[in-house]
C-alpha cells in the first residue's frame, strides 16, 4: 500500500497527466485515421521515450495504447472503415446506424461501451493477473487448437440469415490465409512464384481493400437517401433502459475481450469479432445485426477495450506479449532495464503499479476526450462526398503502403477492394472472411504443433477435458445455428 500510495502521488503530478494526455491524443489520431494503428503509434513514439525516466516512458506508451484501440471507433462509425483491426466488428452496426442519421448515438454507445470494457479489463488485470496468466501458460497446443476451432465455429453465427454465403465468405478468408510459407515446415503455398506473396497477405492492406475501397465503390453507386443527421441529442443519447438491457451483453463481451487478450497472438483483433458473434447468438433479434443494432456496438467496443487489460496480464506476469502492441511495449520495458515476468512484481512493484494506474487514468482521459470531440467528429459526414472519398482513398493508399513500405501492398488493397465490392454487392457478409483470415494461420500453427506431440493422433483432442469440452461446445453451436436457419427458412416458405 505504501508503494501504491507513492505511485498515486507521483501520477497526479501535472507532468504525468500531460504525458498520458499527449499519449492518448496521439493514440486517438492513429486509431481514427484508417490505415494507422495503435501498434504504429507505439512504434513511432518508442524511441522518444528512451530519454525519459522509465515510469514516464510507460505513461506515454500506455496512453497511446488505450487511445489507439479506442480511436478506431470513429472511422468505423462514420466511414464504415475500421480505424484499427480491433474495430472491424464495430463497423457492422455502427456504420448502418450512422447512415440512418444517428451518428451521435452510435458514437455515444461506442464511447460508453469502451469505458465499461476498459474498467472491467482493469479490474481483472489488477485482481487476477498472476492467477490467470499462470492458467493461460499451462494450456497446451491441444487446448489452443480447440479454442480457435470454437472461434471459427462462430462463423456459422455470423452467417445468420444466409449460412451458405457466410460459410463461403469464411472459406475465402481461410484460403487467403494459406498464401505464403506454411508454419513449421516452411513449404510455399499459392504464391504463384510471386516473391511478394512469400510472406503471405498482410491484414492491413486486406482490411483497407475490403472496407475502404469496397465501401467507397458501393457508396458511389448508391443514390443519396437524404437522411437528416440527428446532431442534437440529450446527454449521451442513450437511455438508462437501453444501457441496463445491455448490461449482460457488455459484461459478457468484456470477459471475452479479457480472455482473448490473455491468449498470445489473439488480442482485441480477434476478441471483437468473437464477442460480436456471441452477442448475435444470444440476441432476441439476431436478424437485426448488421442493420444498426446497438447490441452489436456494445459488444464490439466493450470487448476490444477489455482486451487491453487482458493483453497486459501475460506481459507483466510472464513477460509474454498478448498482441502486437504489447510486443512493442515489451521492447520499451527492456530498453529501460525492466524485465517483465514472474519476478517483476517482487523486484519492481512500483513499475507494475505505474502500469495499473496509468491504464486506469488513460481510460478516463480517452473517454473525456472522445466525449468532448463527439460533435466535432460527426461533421465528417457533412463533407461533400467527392472530397471525402478522395481523402479516404489517399489515406487508404498511404496506410497500405506504410504497412511495409511496399507498393505490392497497394496492389493487394486494390484487389481486395474489388473482392469486397463483389461480396457486398451480392450480400456476402465480410465478418466471416475476416474471422477466417485472422484465425486460419493460428489454427494451423497450433494444430500442427498438437499433432506433432500427439500419441493417439486426432483422438487426443477428445481425451483432454478442456479440449473435448471446447470441441463439443463448437459442434453444439454449429448444429443449433443450422437448426435455427432451417426453422426460419420453413417459416418463410409456408
Residue-wise pLDDT for 116-130, tens only, equals 999 998 888 888 776
C-alpha cell at 110: 461506442
Residue ranges of domains in the chain: 2-493
pLDDT value, residue 196: 82
> Distance of CA 276 to CAs 251, 270, 349, 434, Å?
13, 10, 36, 13
CA distance 252 to 208: 29
Confidence of residue 26 (pLDDT cuts 50, 70, 90): confident
The model's pTM is: 0.75
pLDDT single digits (tens) 72-90: 888 888 888 877 778 888 8
For residues 326 and 145, the answer to whether their CB atoms sit within 8 Å is no
What local confidence, expressed as pLDDT, does residue 164 receive? 79
Beta strands (DSSP E) in 159-229 are 180-181, 188-189
* Mean pLDDT score of the chain: 79
Closest CA to 312 of 299, 298, 323: 323
Give the contacts of 458 (CB within 8 A, at least 6 positions apart): 451
In this predicted structure, the answer to whether residue 301 has a pLDDT above a threshold of 60 is: yes
Q: Note the pLDDT of residue 116.
A: 92
> Does the structure show a pLDDT above 70 at 407?
yes
Residue 180 pairs in a beta bridge with 189
**Is the pLDDT higher at 216 or at 375?**
216
SS3 181: strand
Cβ-contact 377, 74 below 8 angstroms:
yes
Amino acid at each position: 500500500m505504501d508503494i501504491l500510495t507513492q505511485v498515486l502521488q507521483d501520477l497526479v503530478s501535472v507532468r504525468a497527466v500531460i504525458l498520458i494526455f499527449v499519449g492518448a491524443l496521439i493514440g486517438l489520431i492513429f486509431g481514427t485515421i484508417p490505415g494507422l494503428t495503435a501498434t504504429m503509434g507505439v512504434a513511432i513514439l518508442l524511441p522518444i521515450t528512451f530519454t525519459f525516466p522509465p515510469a514516464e516512458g510507460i505513461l506515454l506508451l500506455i496512453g497511446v495504447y488505450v487511445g489507439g484501440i479506442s480511436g478506431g471507433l470513429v472511422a468505423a462509425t462514420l466511414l464504415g472503415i475500421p480505424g484499427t483491426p480491433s474495430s472491424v466488428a464495430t463497423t457492422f452496426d455502427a456504420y448502418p446506424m450512422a447512415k440512418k442519421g444517428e451518428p451521435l448515438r452510435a458514437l455515444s454507445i461506442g464511447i460508453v461501451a469502451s469505458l465499461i470494457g476498459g474498467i472491467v479489463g482493469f479490474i481483472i488485470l489488477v485482481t487476477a493477473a498472476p492467477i490467470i496468466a499462470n492458467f493461460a501458460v499451462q494450456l497446451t497446443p491441444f487446448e489452443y487448437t480447440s479454442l480457435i476451432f470454437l472461434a471459427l465455429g462462430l462463423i456459422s453465427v455470423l452467417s445468420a440469415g444466409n449460412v451458405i454465403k457466410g460459410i463461403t465468405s469464411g472459406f475465402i478468408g481461410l484460403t487467403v490465409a494459406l498464401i505464403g510459407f506454411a508454419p513449421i515446415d516452411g513449404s510455399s503455398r499459392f504464391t504463384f512464384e510471386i516473391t511478394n506473396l512469400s510472406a503471405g497477405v498482410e491484414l492491413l492492406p486486406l482490411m483497407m481493400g475490403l472496407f475502404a475501397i469496397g465501401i467507397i465503390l458501393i457508396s458511389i453507386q448508391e443514390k443519396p437517401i437524404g437522411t437528416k443527421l440527428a446532431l442534437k441529442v440529450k446527454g449521451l443519447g442513450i437511455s438508462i433502459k437501453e444501457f441496463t438491457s445491455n448490461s449482460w451483453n457488455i459484461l459478457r463481451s468484456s470477459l471475452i475481450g479479457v480472455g482473448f487478450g490473455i491468449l498470445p497472438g489473439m488480442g482485441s483483433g480477434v476478441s471483437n469479432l468473437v464477442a460480436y458473434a456471441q452477442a448475435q447468438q444470444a440476441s432476441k433479434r439476431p436478424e437485426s445485426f448488421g442493420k444498426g443494432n446497438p447490441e452489436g456496438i456494445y459488444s464490439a467496443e466493450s470487448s476490444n477495450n477489455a482486451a487491453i487489460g487482458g493483453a497486459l496480464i501475460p506481459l507483466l506476469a510472464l513477460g509474454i506479449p498478448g498482441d502486437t502492441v504489447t510486443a512493442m511495449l515489451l521492447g520499451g520495458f527492456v530498453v529501460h532495464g525492466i524485465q517483465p515476468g514472474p519476478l517483476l512484481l517482487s523486484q519492481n512493484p512500483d513499475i507494475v503499479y505505474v502500469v495499473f494506474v496509468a491504464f486506469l487514468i488513460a481510460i478516463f482521459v480517452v473517454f473525456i476526450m472522445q466525449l468532448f470531440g463527439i460533435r466535432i467528429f460527426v461533421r465528417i459526414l457533412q463533407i461533400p462526398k467527392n472530397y471525402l472519398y478522395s481523402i479516404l482513398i489517399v489515406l487508404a493508399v498511404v496506410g497500405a503502403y506504410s504497412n511495409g513500405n511496399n507498393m505490392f501492398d497497394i496492389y493487394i488493397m486494390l484487389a481486395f477492394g474489388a473482392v469486397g465490392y463483389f461480396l457486398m454487392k451480392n450480400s456476402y457478409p465480410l465478418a466471416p472472411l475476416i474471422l477466417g483470415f485472422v484465425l486460419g494461420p493460428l489454427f494451423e500453427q497450433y494444430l500442427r504443433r498438437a499433432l506433432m506431440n500427439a500419441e493417439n493422433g486426432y483422438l487426443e483432442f477428445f481425451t483432454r477435458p478442456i479440449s473435448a469440452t471446447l470441441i463439443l461446445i463448437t459442434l453444439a453451436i454449429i448444429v443449433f445455428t443450422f437448426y435455427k436457419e432451417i426453422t426460419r427458412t420453413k417459416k418463410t416458405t409456408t
